[in-house]
């Protein structure tokens, strides 16, 4: 479904992604594990196309140069130069890190904003679907999003992405800043989403312990480069992973 071929991303003279090649097949749950500043968010911004908007904005204000090399293939089509909104139409949807929501709007309004281009009947169905995936949200549907807990905001942010009915859902560090209890709750919800819908998911995380048991396979990146690759179990059993991420 997704192929990233020899991807390189430069911010001025700084190399953020270095010759990275990876793939995600239909129906898989794939993880990208890496420490802070390893290049995970840059990778997701590049796959989703947000890097194109960033590049244009920097050019307009005379800021840092952003250069992208390599190819991104989605469903057999080269989308390297495709605008982010067009990628969304093709089924490639990103839920960004730090749960970007509209804090002054309530839960229902946030979901409606996400699906503003959908017909009313379809939007109602998609909202019901999100509520089924995240049963913690319906009791909070009239609460301002800014007053939700971090975990609840993250559920809402992922729900906003699901409103768009993605074929490939990109989750950028959804566990960031959450308590262990909320991390477990969110991981359970994501795992149930994958099992019930068969949706393809690519997730980035620095918290490897809750992710590795449930992914099909994963990539470990360091300084924008591929360091390790394997199934979730293979990575769990790898002594380098245990030392770097589990402290054992």
pLDDT value at residue 200: 95
Token pair of 231 as six digits: 């199934």
**Distance between alpha carbon 1 and the CA centroid of its chain, in Å?**
16
Residues in CB range of 232: below 8 A, 6 or more apart = 31, 211, 212, 213, 214, 215, 216, 217, 218
pLDDT value at residue 51: 95
Question: Residue 247, by phi and psi: left (phi above 0), alpha (psi -120 to 50) or beta?
Answer: left
Rounded Cα distance between 33 and 222, Å, is 9
* pLDDT single digits (tens) 81-128: 999 999 999 999 999 876 679 999 999 999 999 998 888 889 999 999
Mean pLDDT of the region 224-233: 92
In this prediction, residue 9 has a pLDDT band, given cuts at 50, 70 and 90, of: very high
Mean pLDDT of the region 230-247: 83
CATH number of 22-64+82-91+166-248: 3.40.50.300
Rounded Cα distance between 218 and 22, Å, is 10
pLDDT at 21 over 80: yes
pLDDT value at residue 97: 79
pLDDT value at residue 147: 93
178-212 as b/e, with b when 16 or more CB fall inside 10 Å?
beeebbebbbebbbebbeebebbbbbbbbbbbbbb
- pTM here? 0.92
Which ranges in the chain are annotated with CATH 3.40.50.300? Answer: 22-64+82-91+166-248
* pLDDT single digits (tens) 141-184: 999 999 998 889 999 999 999 999 899 999 999 998 888 888 88
Please give the mean pLDDT across all residues of the chain: 91
- Read off the DSSP letter of residue 144: B
**Residue 24 near residue 36 (C-beta atoms within 8 A):** no
């Amino acid at each position: 479904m997704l192929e990233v071929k020899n991807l390189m991303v430069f911010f001025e003279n700084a190399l953020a992604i270095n010759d990275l090649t990876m793939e995600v097949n239909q129906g898989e749950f794939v993880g990208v594990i890496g420490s802070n500043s390893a290049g995970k968010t840059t990778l997701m911004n590049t796959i989703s196309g947000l890097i194109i908007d960033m590049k244009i904005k920097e050019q307009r204000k005379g800021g840092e140069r952003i250069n992208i090399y390599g190819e991104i293939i989605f469903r057999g089509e080269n989308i390297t130069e495709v605008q982010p909104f067009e990628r969304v139409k093709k089924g490639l949807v990103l839920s960004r890190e730090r749960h970007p929501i509209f804090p002054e709007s309530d839960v229902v309004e946030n979901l409606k904003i996400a699906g503003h281009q959908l017909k009313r009947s379809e939007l109602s169905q998609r909202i019901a679907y999100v509520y089924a995936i995240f049963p913690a949200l319906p009791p909070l549907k009239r609460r301002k999003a800014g007053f939700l807990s971090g975990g609840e905001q993250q559920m809402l942010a992922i729900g906003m992405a699901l409103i768009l009915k993605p074929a490939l859902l990109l989750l950028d560090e959804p566990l960031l800043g959450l308590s262990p209890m909320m991390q477990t709750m969110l991981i359970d919800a994501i795992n149930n989403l994958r099992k019930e819908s068969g949706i393809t998911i690519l997730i980035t995380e620095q918290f490897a312990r809750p992710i590795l048991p449930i992914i099909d396979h994963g990539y470990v990146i360091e300084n924008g480069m591929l360091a390790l690759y394997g199934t979730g179990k293979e990575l769990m059993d790898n002594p380098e992973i245990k030392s770097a991420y589990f402290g054992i």
